[in-house]
Amino acid sequence: MSTAAYINDSEFNALLISETIFVVDCTASWCGPCKKISPYIDQLAEEYEGRAKVVKLDISENKETANKFSIRSIPAVMFFKSGELVENIVGVSPYETFKAALDKLL
């Protein structure tokens, strides 16, 4: 089973350039709600492997990206297409919400 890998700010910036479609879960180890959606993000990573890149970003350690996209509350799951932020789902949502947002981009 594949899980969503953790990336840092510089890896994020590289993804903006290299990946057509990707999802970033802005999370933190101290965030309770983030732990609730973590399995959903891992499920997305597995289900969409080869079609979309799904990653996690710990905003406690990577403030540049959080500031750049004005992330004020987490979990915040950002959906990118061709380097553009097209959707940002903040808070705990069911798996279907994340899946539907990703399906729209494919």
CA distance 47 to 68: 29
**Tokens, residue 50:** 């080869």
Q: Which of 4, 23, 24, 34 is catalytic?
A: 34
Rg (CA), the chain: 12
Tell me, yes or no, if 26 is annotated catalytic.
no
Q: Which of 23, 26, 31, 71 is catalytic?
A: 31
Three-state SS for 28-89 is: CCCCHHHHHHHHHHHHHHHHCCCCCEEEEEECCCCHHHHHHCCCCCCCEEEEEECCEEEEEE
Cβ atoms < 10 Å from Cβ of 8: 14
Q: Which residues are catalytic?
A: 31, 34
